[in-house]
Structure 1
Amino acid sequence: MGTVVKLNVQEGVARIVIDAPPVNAQSLAVRRGLWEAVQIAEADPKVVALAILGAGRIFSAGADIAEFEEDGQDPWFGTLYNRIEACRKPVVAGIRGAALGGGLELALACHFRLATPDARLGLPEVTLGLLPGGGGTQRAPRLIGAEAALRLMLTGQPMGARAAEKLGLIDGVVEGDLAEVTVQLAREIGQGSEGAPPRRTRDLRTGLADPQGYEAAVARARAELEADPARAVLEAPHRVIDCVEGALLLPFETGLAYELEAFEELRGGRQSAALRHAFFAERAVARPARLGEAKPAAPRRVGVVGGGARGTSLAAAVAAAGAEVRLMEQDLGHLEAAIGRVQAHLEGEVAAGRMKPEAVAQALGRVSGAERDGGLSGCDLVVETMPEESGLKGDLLARLSELLGPGPVLATTARRAELKTLSAPLAHKARFIALRFAGPPHEAGLLEVGARPDAEGAAVARGFGLARLLGVAAIWAEPAVAEFIAAAGRAAGDDMVKRGEASREEVAAARAWFGMVAEADAGDADIAGWRAEEIIAPICLAMANAGALMLAQGVVENAAAIDVAMMAGEGFPRHAGGPMQWAEARGLARVEAELKARAESHGEALWAPAPQFAELVKNGQGWADL
């Protein structure tokens, strides 16, 4: 078992603890440890029951996703869970914090389940283009029926312990010492069983008791999926529904085999590979090398200079996220008007369902006005938001830099002006950064953080801290990349229209088919998949080529940053992984050849391959090798 799984027998109960920080992921070592612990406990005549717990604040966050990139090693998840369920002695799971994915599947394989009041239980595999592959699609419906099980699996959203108890997913909520109560329950069940077989989830029929209602729930889920074009193109939700239906129609062992086959097909498919890439890419770009040793810290008080649309949007986002805002305008009249715009932004969030009505007053209470520069005292980040066409940015930034001194980080939202020019007159250049939101800050999903080469890592980290506060993706880029790469894709579409290779309506329909934000209304245009692929391929080729040029110029640190930027900021479909991942999945040699062919027939302006393609193809490498 090593150190990741601990076994201790206490008065007839084998206490098995997963101790694999930070989230008790079920790596191969953990699975082998659990298997060995169950074997030992079942064979020990002094043991009457088993209790499985997680060390620390979490039961188990499930699989180590990195293992999905390689062939699985025994015991695989389903094999382990079947072994636990088959144990001749009662097994009780004690869930603290969270049981997600394989963590919940492990708990479902146990014979009884307890949880703390704050525990969260979920099956989020669909967000990775997968389905629960360790029996989750078969055991969960037996406990809670098709409707609740499908909601759990298709949304990927966890449920709270109280809701899980009400549905029957767990047997009880423990207010006191979870480990003590779990061990005590295991002891009582084991001592009272008198040789009776444990209650196995596979044998339960509670959730299958109403076959007509079950099938109706399955049919509704299918209809809702088909009615949503953005979700209908995803493979995993369809397979989830099929497997949940199989829980009613198939013998348990056959249902498990059907589930595992679906899991393996999805795991080897293009969509899941792209979604897993997105998962790792987002984590890889969260702490770029440009930060050095500095850690992204969320600002506690943000100064916003300028009460126009961009400034009030930023003020609303920061206040809604829980930080204080000092909003500076030239006089009281402009300030009052600006605070009114902040309120309008917040009320718009309520109308969109992203904010509760009672939270508006709380957010507004965190906004205070400043008519003079001194009102920015105490801010750890000051953001200048004046329109670029105003011509006032340079003088304003110079005055702010001198006023603020070397303490607060000074930022600009300028998207087009060069930082070298803007920063030339600043007194504290090393504390100056650019914050480029993809759209209005209160709605944006992406923040591109840029700075001069000599900027302090701590200053750059403050920009990433702001993104963390606002809950948006952030990348290091200087200058911004997302808009440039998206423009290359639009240019490719325009080029096809100009040359008569596709109509504008077809281009829009193909983008919608792919899951990409359309540049024009596709209307009711219907397009065949093969035709959509013909149109989408040049668009993605152009974006991947533009991304490679950005890499060549050192604008971003890696290809992952480009993919994250395009998914979060420009609507590139997550299930395609971003343009760089799309190119790598297509094959860089093939992409280079296609770019060369289009450069010869369409001109080199858009299509001449970036130099990295030849280098990587020659050495048989990918973007990560740059």
Structure 2
Amino acid sequence: MKVNDVVTYEVEGPIAVITAHSPPVNALSSAVRQGIAGAVQTALGDGSVGAMVLICEGRTFFAGADITEFGKPPVEPTLRNLQLIVENATKPVIAAIHGTALGGGLELALVAHYRIAVPSAKCGLPEVKLGLLPGAGGTQRLPRIVGIEKALDLTTSGAPVGARAAKEMGLVDELAQGDLRADAIAFARRVLEEKRPLLKVRDRTEKLDEARGKPEIFANFRKANARKFRGFKAPEHIIRCVEATLEKSFDEGMVYERQLFNELQSDSQSAAQRHVFFAERQAAKVLGLAADTPTLPIAKVGVIGAGTMGGGIAMNFANAGIPVTIVEAKQEALDRGLGIIRGNYESTAKKGRMKAEDVDTRMGLLTGSVAMEDLADCDLIIEAVFENLDVKREVFGTLDAIARPGAILATNTSYLDIDDIAAATERPESVCGLHFFSPANVMKLLEVVRTKDTSPEIVVTAMKLAKTIGKIGVLVGNGFGFVGNRILAARNAQADRLVLEGATPWTVDRVLYDFGFAMGHFQMRDLVGLDVGWNRETTSSANVREILNEMGRHGQKTKGGYYDYDDNRKQTPSPIAMQVIEDFAAKQGIERRAVSDDEIHDRILFAMVNEGARILDEGIAARASDIDIVWVTGYGWPKYRGGPMFWGDLQGLPTVLEKLKTLEAAHGEAFTPSPLIERLAAEGKGFRDA
């Protein structure tokens, strides 16, 4: 019978089967919670029923709480109250798990008296990824069933664990061998026949006893993960909750968990991480195109250039099982590039991240050539040659004569005008930008650049392809630097100016590191290489970076850039670079002065927000959240700060506008407020409304 629209109740012999079906992921919405509560009460009042099976239809067990309800008035039963109903049931409840039991879904399974799962199922508590902690007893029950150390790993990483591993650690009691429903009912019958007790996880202490008197477990865990957890509040709150399982009673621990959960839920970090979660999903949705726009088949890919970028791009497709033809101008360069790719794969295999036989399988998907004509049968051709407009136009002119009709012609340019590149062909509608980030086989971001002529079919194909090769695709418009590098250029300008006016590169880097970036601006430049985009033939000592390059200081790879590096690439501030900066400032007539951390913070960050607003106003980005995803995914903006546009909204646009006007008066037109900021501030709106 139907309990409500999303929960049904059936009886098979002595077993009541409570089935939820709330697509797409059986989130624990108020309707689902009400339905389960009603079904349990029905079973408890049915004298013919001895035990209950809680199961889901569709592709998964309960995949978590309904996060659209966050911040809204609670609807009874809350998840915690539903758990009490299940946990205190006087008849055994067996959770039958398939797909994923995540977050609140796993927390609900933990109050069942027994758990059975199909071997392919996964269980996890991913709340940390939203800046939260498991708020329905996850931090208190999980340690009691799997132990302190495993609980710390699972709750602070948010990573799911497979059903077989879950069985080994005690999280799951049985693995289904066939049909989950039938096996769960059979398991429930055995529980009754064997008169097994009503096991409550909350009452178990054996795994906790193993850790008592061992405070080093927590000290060592904090130390081992200090770098990964830096800046994030949720992991430390989770660790404290797990510690509480050894120091407090279960009920006291639940109160403590709720207190720390509420702290996180009301904090800007969780709001930022939830924003990123939804923004990433929104980025995949292309605005303004018909839902039935067809995609084009991509069965074979060509890559022009076997250098660092071209090789990394090729690896993405080989990893996805798509054959790639790599073309280089000279055999020597081709052999070197293929050798580096093989070395990368072999290194991955040695670390246990892929099987040794997979190295040959993936290399077998790569074909090297020195003839452009060998790209004639490719469905997609990506150019990854030197960042020079004339060179790229020449390549596309050649491709136009070679590529088959309907093939996608893509450029990996970082800054150049793709409309201009497309004009070298007779098929500009087939041209788009696929801007990968270095190292291309590692970095998740892919800017898909649409020109004024790019066809809708190619746009949707490119966005789908991003997902196929494991990237987060963000659709952007054609313009200098697109989204990511255009904002980076604004940051570059301020960072360069600040060091001329009196700041040191390491002070600028420290301010950005303290804000939450994994590394500072000048550290990043040294890592990437100061010579990227620099031309020895045309260099003219026009700025500090050019002078350092002319001196052979290209960054980490030459043991000197803005910093000096030892053989282990350990950095120290470089007096040579500092002298170059001071001499150049003197030559430019710039009088150096003391520059405060606050000035560095404001000039760099508000310049970035202002440039993002211009990008949004010009339509280069469709949504403010798309800009945030570009910077969080591709440039290391700290996830717990949500991206530059979210951060701007958090400051309040009237505050942003006032800051920009103050900076404009002191430092010039680089800070002239974007008209969009002025309009939104006047209307009491934020970037999220644009």
TM-score bucket (shorter structure):
over 0.9
Aligned equivalents of 1:291 and 1:444: distance in 2? 28
2:221 counterpart residue number: 221
Per the alignment, residue 550 of structure 2 pairs with: none
Unaligned runs of 5+ in 2: 524-562, 564-570, 574-595
Tell me the secondary structure at the aligned position of residue 47 of structure 1.
coil
Q: Distance in 1 between matches of 2:335 and 2:239?
A: 53
**Cα distance between partner residues in 2 of 1:114 and 1:214:** 32
- Of residues 668, 674, 677, the one that matches 1:603 is 668
Q: Quote the residue 2:74 is aligned against.
A: 72
Equivalent position SS for 2:381: strand
Do residues 612 (structure 1) and 676 (structure 2) align? yes
Q: 1:569 to 1:359 in 2, by over 3 A?
A: same
- Secondary structure at the residue paired with 1:589? helix
Q: What's the CA shift for 1:354?
A: 5.5
Cα shift at 1:543: 0.9
CA distances 1:566-600 after superposition (whole Å, capped 9, x unpaired): 11111111111100011111111211111112112
User: C-alpha separation between the residues in 2 aligned to 1:584 and 1:608?
Assistant: 18
Match of 2:686 in 1: 622
My pick for the range that moved more, 172-181 or 67-76, is 67-76
Residues 604, 388 of structure 1: alpha-carbon distance in 2 compared, 3 angstrom cutoff? closer
2:384 alignment partner AA: T
Instruction: Identify which of 78, 85, 90 aligns with 2:92.
Output: 90
One-letter amino acid of the structure 1 residue matched with residue 636 of structure 2: G
Q: Which amino acid aligns with 1:271?
A: Q
Aligned to 2:613: 548
Equivalent in the alignment of 1:528: none
Distance 2:506 2:102 in 1: 43
Q: How does 1:22-421 map to 2 (within 5 A)?
A: 22-190=24-192, 193=195, 198-212=198-212, 215-225=215-225, 227-228=226-227, 230-289=228-287, 292-293=290-291, 294=293, 299-330=298-329, 335-347=334-346, 349-350=348-349, 355-389=354-388, 391-421=390-420
Residues 113-170 of structure 1: CA deviation (Å, up to 9, x unaligned): 0111111111111111111001111111111110011111111111111111111111
Shift in CA distance, 296/205, structure 1 to aligned 2, threshold 3 Å: farther
Give distance in 2, aligned partners of 1:533 and 1:98. Answer: 46
- Go from structure 1 to structure 2 and tell me whether the alpha carbon gap of 1:49 and 1:215 turns closer, same or farther (over 3 Å shift): farther
- Judged with a 3 Å threshold, the aligned counterparts in structure 2 of structure 1 residues 389 and 456 are, in CA distance, closer, same or farther, namely closer
1:574 corresponds in structure 2 to 639
TM value normalised by structure 1: 0.92
Quote the Cα distance in structure 2 between the aligned partners of 1:535 and 1:33.
Answer: 55
Range with bigger deviation, 308-317 or 537-546 = 308-317
Relative to 1, partners in 2 of residues 1:337 and 1:221: Cα closer, same or farther, differing over 3 Å?
Answer: closer
Q: Give 1:295 shift.
A: 6.4
Question: Which secondary structure does the structure 2 equivalent of 1:450 belong to?
Answer: strand
- Sort the Cα spacing of 1:378 and 1:77 in 2 relative to 1 into closer, same or farther, 3 A: farther
CA distance in structure 2 between the partners assigned to 1:352 and 1:611 by the alignment: 51
CA contact (8 A) 1:446 1:569 kept: yes
Q: Are 1:296 and 1:464, in contact at CA under 8 Å, matched by a contact in 2?
A: no
Q: CA deviation at 1:373?
A: 4.3
Seq. identity, %:
37
Gap change, CA 1:533 and 1:581, over 3 Å in 2: farther
* Residues 377 and 403, structure 2, Cα contact 8 Å, conserved in 1: no
CA-based RMSD of the aligned residues comes to 2.5
Amino acid at match of 1:625: D
Residue identity matched to 2:254 = L
How high is the TM-score relative to the length of structure 2? 0.84
Q: Secondary structure at the match of 2:234?
A: helix
Bigger Cα displacement from structure 2, 182-191 vs 38-47: 182-191
Aligned equivalents of 2:295 and 2:350: distance in 1? Answer: 32
Equivalent runs, 1:499-538 vs 2, <5 Å: 499-500=501-502, 502-516=503-517, 517-521=519-523, 535-538=600-603
Contact 1:61–1:98 (8 Å) recurs in 2: yes
Contact 1:115 1:173 in 2 (8 A): yes
What displacement does 1:222 show? Answer: 2.6
CA distance in 1, matches of 2:330, 2:10: 70
Partner of 2:537: none
> Quick one: distance in 1 between partners of 2:427 and 2:348?
36
Q: Is the 8 A contact 2:29 2:65 kept in 1?
A: yes
2:59 and 2:99 in contact (8 A); partners too? yes
Figure out how many residues of one structure are paired with residues of the other and give that number. 615
Corresponding residue number in structure 1 for 2:630: 565
Shift of the 29–337 alpha-carbon distance from structure 1 to 2, 3 Å rule, reads same
Name the SS of the counterpart of 2:521 in structure 1.
coil
Q: For 2:388, what is the secondary structure of its paired residue?
A: helix
* CA distance in structure 1 between the aligned counterparts of 2:144 and 2:325, rounded to whole angstroms: 54
SS in 2 for 1:109: coil
Taking the aligned partners of 1:484 and 1:247, their CA distance within structure 2 comes to: 49
